[in-house]
């Protein structure tokens, strides 16, 4: 395997000159640049990128920490992050934490070792104290999920208002037995979406009944399972608000297996507007999050922190939209 010394010898220049060419320095004449490039091509030389990163003050690499890389909700967000990163000379590394604190901390060590310039945290399991300490050392930003009161910028939507609008839509269709499928975890969005559900009921004069609330884990299977439980109630709900599209799709399939028609017998509303929500039959009424824009904004904000264009924490709330489809209105 060719080394940088081999390239320097073949091109008839110093190792330092080869290094300047590899790092894109302007202090190289066009003739020398051409000779070095030709030597690199002839020797099929591949620079040691890790070594370069360690020697440079910037790695030009960003870590993106996801709780579940299989969840389609994150796909458009990551695309937004990567598009902005590429335009600004950065690459990204996806890190699947599986909502495991120890695994998350292993990735954070990469930041502290200067193998990355910053990180976008989608749903961190770290404590307030740990995140505050980390933010004092390394550029980080919270995306989608965030912890209130931290000196860390975040990008999200108004989850409480979005859920409130969705449940109001169901109530406006005449439903008074509106059930809720959520998730029990530490994520702020889970709490806020339930609060929006409860507020909509109370403002409509409908009593909040915990028996009409079930909990899953954002998956299709959990939505299917929880819907079975809700349909066993007497009286059963005539509408269901789910805090994720995957759970909503599972809930619809569960209702159909019980011989119910959607939306004639039971209406179902989801949250996120993932790609599958408009492919499924019936198409899914859902809250649309601007996933691509969330990713773009998070990456732009992180670059501003890295390049010290922004020193104060910024809190970005993106617009959301209720998309009405066949699962609530025939």
What does the pLDDT average to over 243-265?
98
Given pLDDT bands bounded at 50, 70 and 90, which one contains residue 192?
Answer: very high
Q: In Å, what is the CA distance from 304 to each residue of 153, 287, 297?
A: 11, 30, 11
* pLDDT of residue 19 exceeding 80: no
Architecture per CATH, 61-157+291-319: 3-Layer(aba) Sandwich (3.40)
pTM for this structure? 0.80
H helices of the chain, in order, are 4-11, 15-22, 30-43, 49-55, 73-87, 101-112, 128-135, 159-172, 188-203, 220-231, 245-257, 291-306
Task: Name the strands in the sheet holding 118-121, side by side, starting at the edge strand that comes first in the sequence.
Answer: 91-96, 61-66, 118-121, 140-143, 154-157, 315-318
Contact (Cβ atoms closer than 8 angstroms) between residue 287 and residue 166? yes
Q: In Å, what is the CA distance from 28 to each residue of 8, 24, 140, 295?
A: 14, 9, 36, 37
Instruction: Determine what percent of the chain is predicted with pLDDT higher than 90.
Output: 70
Given pLDDT bands bounded at 50, 70 and 90, which one contains residue 201?
Answer: very high
Given pLDDT bands bounded at 50, 70 and 90, which one contains residue 167?
Answer: very high
Location of each CATH 1.10.260.40 domain in the chain: 4-47
- Residue 55: per-residue pLDDT: 43
Q: 4-47 has which CATH code?
A: 1.10.260.40
- Residue 303: per-residue pLDDT: 94
Of 87 and 135, the one with more pLDDT: 87
Location of each CATH 3.40.50.2300 domain in the chain: 61-157+291-319, 159-289
H helices of 151-260, in order, are 159-172, 188-203, 220-231, 245-257
Q: What is the radius of gyration, based on Cα positions, of the chain?
A: 25
Each residue's pLDDT tens digit, 108-140:
888 888 889 999 999 999 999 999 888 888 899
- Range scoring the smallest mean pLDDT among 18-32, 45-59, 212-226: 45-59
- Residue 102: per-residue pLDDT: 94
Each residue's pLDDT tens digit, 219-250:
999 999 999 999 999 999 999 999 999 999 99
* pLDDT of residue 54 exceeding 50: no
**Candidate CATH numbers 1.10.357.10, 3.20.20.70, 3.30.365.10, 3.40.50.2300; the one for domain 159-289:** 3.40.50.2300
């Amino acid at each position: 395997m060719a080394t940088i010394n081999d390239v320097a010898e073949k091109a008839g220049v110093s190792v330092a000159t080869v290094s300047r060419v590899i790092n894109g320095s302007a202090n190289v004449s066009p003739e020398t640049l051409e000779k070095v490039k030709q030597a690199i091509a002839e020797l099929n030389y591949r620079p040691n990128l890790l070594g370069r990163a360690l020697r440079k003050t910037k790695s030009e690499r960003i870590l993106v920490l996801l709780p579940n890389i299989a969840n389609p909700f994150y796909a458009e967000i990551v695309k937004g992050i990567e598009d902005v990163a590429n335009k600004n000379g950065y690459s990204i590394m996806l890190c699947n934490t599986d909502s495991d604190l120890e695994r998350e901390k292993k990735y954070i060590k990469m930041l502290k070792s200067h193998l990355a310039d910053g990180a976008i945290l989608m749903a961190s399991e770290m404590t307030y104290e740990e995140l505050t300490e980390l933010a004092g050392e390394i550029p980080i930003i919270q995306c989608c999920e965030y912890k209130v009161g931290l000196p860390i910028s975040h990008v999200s939507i108004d989850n409480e208002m979005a859920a409130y609008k969705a449940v109001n839509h169901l109530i406006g269709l005449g439903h008074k037995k509106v059930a809720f499928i959520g998730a029990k975890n530490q994520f702020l969005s889970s709490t806020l979406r339930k609060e929006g559900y409860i507020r909509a009921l109370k403002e409509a004069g409908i009593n909040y009944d915990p028996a009409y609330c079930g909990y899953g884990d954002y998956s299709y299977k959990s939505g299917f399972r929880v819907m079975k439980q809700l349909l066993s109630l007497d009286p059963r709900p005539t509408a269901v608000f789910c805090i994720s599209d995957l759970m909503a799709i599972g809930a619809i399939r569960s209702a159909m297996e019980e011989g119910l028609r959607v939306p004639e017998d039971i209406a179902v509303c989801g949250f996120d507007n993932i790609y599958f929500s408009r492919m499924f039959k019936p198409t899914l009424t859902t809250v649309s999050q601007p996933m691509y824009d969330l990713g773009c904004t998070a990456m732009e904000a992180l670059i501003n922190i890295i390049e010290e264009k922004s020193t104060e924490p910024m809190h970005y709330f993106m617009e959301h939209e209720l998309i009405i489809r066949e699962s609530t209105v025939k």
